[in-house]
Amino acid sequence: MAHITMLNLTVTPNVSVVRRAKLLPSRVNDSMPIPDFSKNDGLLPAIAQDAATGEVLMLAYMNAESFAETQRSGRAVYYSRSRQKLWRKGDDSGHTQHVKAIYVDCDADTILLKVEQVGAACHEGYRSCFFRQVQGSDVVVTAERLVEPGDVYGK
Ligand SMILES: [Zn+2]
């Protein structure tokens, strides 16, 4: 990132440094906030993916506040639609997510977190929420449960 790769353009290195610094969280240009929390009533889907293996771990939602805290703290913070408040992943379970990189999609309305997952991403005790595979008319559990949910959440 420290390397300026646009030296052959007419912009000065200083300008390109500023532009790069402004990519997140504010704007690439004046017309396109990134991510664009003006969409979807301020709640954008956020996919968490294992930074090392590429495994898709879960899908949750972020508002601007949770996104800012995620950036600031380096730990995944979502917005819980059911509880209607910030959800600091792992506060109850200890199964935190350390954020290695943040991406936004082409429309700036879907977020991708590449994370280092501690324990199970899923509240059902599986590493990934996608532990069930649809096979024709059947749904088959295709992953090992890492922890019993009752042991983690004390229910
Ligand atoms: Zn889950």
Domain ranges of the chain: 1-32, 35-153
Considering the segment(s) 35-153 as one domain, its CATH architecture is Roll (3.10)
pLDDT, position 33: 79
What's the alpha-carbon Rg for the chain, to the nearest Å? 18
59 CA to centre of ligand 1 in angstroms: 8
Instruction: Return the residue matching tokens 């690439």.
Output: 28
Query: What pLDDT, on the 0 to 100 scale, is given for residue 89?
Result: 97
The Å distance, Cα 131 to ligand 1 centre, comes to 9
96 Cα to the center of ligand 1, angstroms = 14
Q: How far is the CA of 60 from the centre of ligand 1 (A)?
A: 9
Ligand 1 centroid, distance to 54 Cα (angstroms)? 17
pLDDT at position 14 is 46
CA of 111 to the centre of ligand 1 (A): 18
If one compares 88 and 153, the residue with the highest pLDDT of the two is 88
Burial of 141 (0-12, 13-18, 19+ CB in 10 A): exposed
- The confidence score (pLDDT) of residue 26 equals 54
19 Cα to the center of ligand 1, angstroms:
37
Tokens linked to 154: 């004390």
pTM for the structure as a whole: 0.78
Report whether pLDDT(83) > 80: yes
Tell me which amino acid residue 37 is: F
Which residue carries 């199970």 as its tokens? 120
Q: How far apart are alpha carbons 150 and 123 in whole angstroms? A: 10
Residues β-bridged to residue 103: 112
pLDDT of residue 135: 98
